[in-house]
Structure 1
């Protein structure tokens, strides 16, 4: 369990859900982890449990994202892994969605991931190594009803990943994305049963995924096992939308 021994990782949105599952897996494999989240109290609670560090961070704040990376490097001496995981939803049909709903979701996902990639990439370029992982969604591939903002944002994150991968590859920095499908989290389990059953019926493996199964893919992308992968998008969907 030492695939990340000696590595330093930042996980945005790391106080809950998939971000927390990824942080737990990274710590279990020897990484020093900084949990960055808007909810500082929750981040500090989970960090204490994991033996990690925590800080409050708004991923749409340019200065804040730069400070997050700088503080991590000062504390641990390096930054080897950046996970752009923070996200929100503001679901409505286009007829009911406000401009603010649309822009806020794009800001958090696309602009936030760009700020994280840019700040981490600058450090990693100087180090000559690093892995940046951006959490997209299968919604970015197929689009979801009532999620024009979220689907557009998650598709944008794929384009960002591929373009950044081309810019950073020559410096030894890899940039990849993960597109989870239906994963069993507090957010998805709050869906009406009819909506859950409808999504489940689309999955050939006939079950929802677990957060740990997404975290295992992030571990693979963060580790040297994926040393020749960059610009890829890995679907973790149980075969949904093949």
Structure 2
């Protein structure tokens, strides 16, 4: 499938990697449906994409809300006349240790709210959006592509019980869906980014950022376009499905 003229929906498109992906794909002629909970962020992303003469529409939606997701994808299919690609990028972090102990006593625990909020967005949101988009693709008879954003943290990372669990779940759902949806011409793959130079990373204290770089054999933080170009590669390689591509400079967590 070619990126040019494809109808591509991107969740979490109001900032960060989602916006970078949108701009990268806009430059290559994609027709874009941008999803986020933040209207202001979406408006800014739409403006940037339109500067590249892209056809783009925005949709305010909470990916963890089943009814809202179904309504959103019905609207996308009606507005664009179908859907070719979904990029499940929306995600949040609520980091914390499972337990903190001082003088033999537990002083702090990861709260259920910390756990559930991340699972709701990062895991349930991916499930709901894939189910909605996959149904449109399967019924169209033209197939499609679903790209999930996992993380190298899926292997387990200290202070990220919730986030690591959610991203491991995304990776396993990717393999499961690739097997289930292939019969309908739908390919499913995932990207596991390492440390990428988003606004959040750029705001880290210099000493913390330096410590992160030391964990990367290539000795640098990844560029957002290096993730966006991988999305493009997955879309355009018709023999790729059921795989998680690590874009992490060689880091292993």
- TM-score tier after normalising by the smaller chain length: over 0.9
Post-superposition shift, 1:105? 0.3
- What is residue 204 of structure 1 aligned with on the other side? 217
- What is residue 104 of structure 2 aligned with on the other side? none
Contact 1:40 1:56 in 2 (8 A): yes
Using the TM superposition, name which of 119-128 and 171-180 deviates more.
119-128
Post-superposition shift, 1:46? 1.7
Among 214, 226, 229, the alignment partner of 1:213 is 226
- What is residue 60 of structure 2 aligned with on the other side? 56
Tell which structure's C-alpha radius of gyration is larger: 2
Contact 2:150 2:167 in 1 (8 A): yes
Q: Deviations over 1:193-236 (max 9, x none)?
A: 3332222112111111000110000111122xx10111100000
Contact 1:3 1:30 in 2 (8 A): no
Q: Which runs of 5+ in 1 are unaligned?
A: none
- What is residue 88 of structure 2 aligned with on the other side? 84
- Indicate yes or no: 2:147 matched with 1:133: yes
- Indicate yes or no: 2:23 matched with 1:24: yes
Alignment of 1:150-165 (within 5 A): 150-165=163-178
Post-superposition shift, 1:49? 2.8
- What is residue 69 of structure 1 aligned with on the other side? 73
- In 1: Cα distance, 2:76 partner to 2:9 partner: 8
SS across alignment from 1:45: helix
- Indicate yes or no: 2:107 matched with 1:103: no
- What is residue 103 of structure 2 aligned with on the other side? none
Q: How many pairs align?
A: 238
Q: Which runs of 5+ in 2 are unaligned?
A: 51-55, 100-108
Consecutive aligned runs of 4 or more in structure 1 exceeding 3 Å deviation? none
- What is residue 247 of structure 2 aligned with on the other side? 236
SS across alignment from 2:166: helix
- In 1: Cα distance, 2:9 partner to 2:153 partner: 25
Post-superposition shift, 1:191? 2.6
